[in-house]
Amino acid sequence: MDARFERILILGNSGSGKSWLAGRLSALLGCRPVDLDAIHWEPGGYDRPREKDDATATVRREAEGSKWVIEGVYGWLAAEVVQRATLMVWLDLPVADCLAAVERRGPRGGATAASFAALLAWTAAYPDRRTSSSRSGHGRLFDAFPAGRHRLRSRFDVERWLDGVAHDVAS
């Protein structure tokens, strides 16, 4: 297998398609996708974040493997594994597209009406936040990444890029 596809880190806003892309890439590459939501939050919902030290240790363990696809919005967790990644993909889609996707999929994972409303507000604020889990935070990680990187700005770009990966992996 092409070494650039060994350890892929996918960043993006909620609703950008990170989990969808990670699932497709993992199937192509024969590995399990890792969702940073499952690391950031305690099991059972989105109302209790995991202790930061526990989340950091967990994501570092996940990144010890020789082949992985890790995806998420949490820039502070992505920063813990970025040095092991061989490829970074930033799904920098329009906020309206991300909001529509979140609304389409609806609440999940034990989300309450209040936590779903908070997720919609969080998604809408992606370009304005100044945290590691924002457009500017993802941009800083992306700009500093020394290996292969792809910034995809539309669903069409994502599908076209994935088609190229599938072709490269099959060759």
pLDDT single digits (tens) 28-59: 999 999 999 999 978 776 678 899 999 999 99
Measure the CA–CA gap between 91 and 150, rounded to whole angstroms.
Answer: 8
pTM score: 0.95
Measure the CA–CA gap between 67 and 109, rounded to whole angstroms.
Answer: 27
Closest CA to 71 of 117, 37, 98: 37
Which residue range is the domain that position 93 belongs to? 3-170
Measure the CA–CA gap between 13 and 71, rounded to whole angstroms.
Answer: 11
DSSP state for residue 130 in the 8-state scheme: -
Measure the CA–CA gap between 36 and 56, rounded to whole angstroms.
Answer: 10
DSSP string, 114-128: HHHHHHHHHHHTTTT
Measure the CA–CA gap between 8 and 149, rounded to whole angstroms.
Answer: 10
Give the chain's residues under pLDDT 70. Answer: 1, 45-46
Domain tally, the chain = 1
Mutual angle of helices 18-29 and 155-170, in 10-degree steps: 10
Question: Which CATH number belongs to the domain containing residue 54 in this structure?
Answer: 3.40.50.300
- pLDDT for 45 equals 67
- pLDDT for 42 equals 81
- pLDDT for 1 equals 59
Task: Read off the tokens for 132.
Answer: 């590691």
CA distances for 65 relative to 6, 32, 81, angstroms: 9, 11, 11
Measure the CA–CA gap between 162 and 87, rounded to whole angstroms.
Answer: 13
Which residues make Cβ contacts (< 8 Å) with residue 10, sequence separation at least 6? Answer: 18, 21, 22, 25, 69, 70, 71, 72, 88, 89, 90, 91
